[in-house]
Amino acid sequence: MTALLASVTTPEEALLAVQANVDLIDLKDPGQGALGALPLEQIRHIVEVLEGHTVSATIGDLPLQPEIIGTAVKTISECGIDYIKIGFFPGGDADGVLAALQPLAKRFFLIAVLFADYMIALPLIDALASTGFKGVMLDTARKEKGSLTKIRDKVFLQRFLLRAKSQGLLTGLAGSLQLEDIPRLLPLGPDYLGFRGALCETGKRTQCLDSKRLATIRAAIPVAATRKISNY
């Protein structure tokens, strides 16, 4: 069953997500990029407010450099996060990053984020699984380009999900998703559908969450049991 991921930026938004029965609460700062990271103190505070709810957080829009990525993962892990999301942006040293993350993947629940609006080599999914990643999401980096479903067709999305599932990875689809995207994507069977902009006032991802919009999206996705897997 597909679960609902909602990205939040404040404790108040996090509590709205809890009230709406969101399956996975994702901590992110949309004003800082596609995977903009919140300040560490803010992350810690939200984790405390949520009192045991399953939480993911991004490490930020960082270059694929082993030392930078490794340090960011270690730092954010100290905030009590369940899922650590790492963006694989174009360029950099992807192989070096995977090598650096292999020992950390034994300790933390790492989720890779690939970007549909850049070229994606699907064999990277196999490398992620071999490294010890527990999941992979397909998102968009350039939000102005529109929804994921406008950037990639159904055939590509099916190939992405099948490749990831064949490696035993949790899967997620995100990227400016709208209400009308839900019936198109649910039959593909991703583990998560991720939303931010569609949940916000006037549909802008940098604005505050709107409880009515959140309730509408929640009602369109059958409620799933929260998937919390131990980091150890």
Q: For the chain, give the number of residues.
A: 232
Please state, in angstroms and rounded to a whole number, the distance separating the CA atoms of residues 24 and 31.
21
Confirm whether 134 is a catalytic residue. no
Please state, in angstroms and rounded to a whole number, the distance separating the CA atoms of residues 53 and 211.
19
Q: Is 195 helix (H, G, I), strand (E, B) or coil?
A: strand
Confirm whether 28 is a catalytic residue. yes
Please state, in angstroms and rounded to a whole number, the distance separating the CA atoms of residues 144 and 147.
9
Per annotation, catalytic residue among 28, 74, 106, 145: 28
- Of 108, 74, 115, nearest to 94 by C-alpha is 115
Q: Is 142 helix (H, G, I), strand (E, B) or coil?
A: coil
The sign of the CA dihedral 88, 89, 91, 92 is negative
Per annotation, catalytic residue among 85, 134, 165, 228: 85
Q: How far is CA 128 from the centre of its chain?
A: 15
Catalytic residues: 28, 85
